[in-house]
Chain A
Amino acid sequence: GAGVSQSPSNKVTEKGKDVELRCDPISGHTALYWYRQSLGQGLEFLIYFQGNSAPDKSGLPSDRFSAERTGGSVSTLTIQRTQQEDSAVYLCASRLGPDSSYEQYFGPGTRLTVT
């Protein structure tokens, strides 16, 4: 079946604008994760969803970042009043469920550039 998809693939925005990044997980996967990878860094965990609820938001770097998930499927990561340090590749991953194997399956990412 189809893998994890993300849109847009690239986004250039001006500092101070809001952006929305979208993730479509693998069908049937109830667990969904957002990560970001800044230049030269590893992947940094942002937030985890189980179904529509987010039991772990510990990785969100500031209150400008928020995420939601509706219908247990599509998730949107919103960054308000973007700053240059928000420039990174934002990756989404999904997993079958909390009792399944630990492997997470990643989408291709959205490259965000804040000018």
Chain B
Amino acid sequence: DQQVKQNSPSLSVQEGRISILNCDYTNSMFDYFLWYKKYPAEGPTFLISISSIKDKNEDGRFTVFLNKSAKHLSLHIVPSQPGDSAVYFCAASVRSGGGADGLTFGKGTHLIIQP
């Protein structure tokens, strides 16, 4: 049973436009969410995160939105750049004993930025 779902395996966006990556979760105990970016043959790189007490977090071109009632979060990248082409993973965590739990990841969305 997948607790974190990224239903789009791939997404193609034109350079300069907005990229929107979606993520849904089923476990209502999740209270911290993260996005990671992964290039081939490299480990995932932390991008941006959001706590369940917020509904938006912004960092430069990246904004994450959280809709707790819908158990849905999204990552917006604007404007999209060629270097943004990568696989993006959504991850979630449960706070317990200081949040030591391993992260639960989605299967990833391959974002392709077209020139």
Which of A's residues lie within 8 Å of B, judged by CB? Answer: 4, 31, 33, 35, 40-48, 50, 55-56, 59, 91, 93, 98-99, 101-109
Contacts and interface: CB of A to CB of B under 8 A. Distances in A.
Contacts of B99: 98, 102
Given A47-B102, A48-B102, A106-B43, 5 more contacts: A35-B103, A42-B6, A42-B108, A43-B105, A104-B103
A43 B89 contact: yes
A91 B101 contact: no
Contacts of B34: 102-103
A80 B57 CA distance: 44
Nearest to B5: A42
6 contacts: A42-B105, A42-B106, A43-B89, A43-B103, A45-B102, A59-B102
Contact of A55 (B100, B104, B106): B100
Interface stretch (B14-22, B44-52, B74-82): B44-52
Contacts of B107: 40-42
B106 A108 contact: no
Contacts of A46: 102
A56 B43 contact: no
A48 B106 CA distance: 19
